[in-house]
Amino acid sequence: MHDKPILKCSNVKKSFSIRGKSIEVLKSIDLELYPGELVVIKGRSGEGKSVLQWILSGIDTPASGEILFDGIPYNRLSRKELSNLRRKRIGLIFQNFNLIQSWTAIENIESALLNSNLSREEKTKKAVLMLEKMELGEKLDYLPIELSIGQQQRVAVARALINEPSLIIADEPTGSVDDETADDLMNILLPYVNDKKSAVLATTHGNTRLESLADRLFYLRDGRLTCAASLKTHQHNS
The answer as to whether 73 is a domain residue is no
Name beta bridge partners: 96: none
Task: Band the pLDDT of 17: cuts 50, 70, 90.
Answer: confident
Supply φ then ψ for residue 182, to 5 degrees: -60, -40
Cβ atoms of 99 and 160 closer than 8 Å = no
Q: What is the pLDDT of residues 172-229, one digit of tens each?
A: 876 666 777 777 778 888 877 777 678 999 998 877 778 888 899 999 999 999 988 6
Q: How far is 227 from 41, CA to CA, in rounded Å? A: 9
Instruction: Calculate the alpha carbon distances from 172 to 51, 104, 123, 203, 227 in Å.
Output: 12, 24, 29, 5, 19
The answer as to whether 18 is a domain residue is no
For position 2, what pLDDT does the model report? 53
For position 236, what pLDDT does the model report? 43
* Domains held by the chain: number: 1
The answer as to whether 172 is a domain residue is yes
The answer as to whether 9 is a domain residue is no
For the CA atoms of 195, 154, 160, 128, the dihedral, rounded to the nearest 10 degrees, stands at: 80
What contacts 24+ positions apart, CB below 8 Å, involve 224-228? 224/27, 224/28, 224/29, 225/29, 225/30, 225/31, 225/41, 225/52, 228/42
The answer as to whether 155 is a domain residue is yes
End-to-end CA distance of the chain: 19
Type of residue numbered 13: K
Range of the domain at 53: 35-65+79-230
Q: Is the predicted pLDDT of residue 231 greater than 60, yes or no? A: no
Task: Name the pTM for this structure.
Answer: 0.87
Q: What is the pLDDT of residues 24-51, one digit of tens each?
A: 899 999 999 999 999 999 998 888 999 9
Report strand pairing: 90-93 vs 7-18: unpaired
The answer as to whether 25 is a domain residue is no
The answer as to whether 24 is a domain residue is no
Cβ atoms of 25 and 53 closer than 8 Å = no
Q: How far is 59 from 53, CA to CA, in rounded Å? A: 9
Helix extents (H) in the chain: 49-56, 79-89, 105-110, 120-133, 149-161, 179-196, 208-213
The answer as to whether 236 is a domain residue is no
CATH number at residue 140: 3.40.50.300
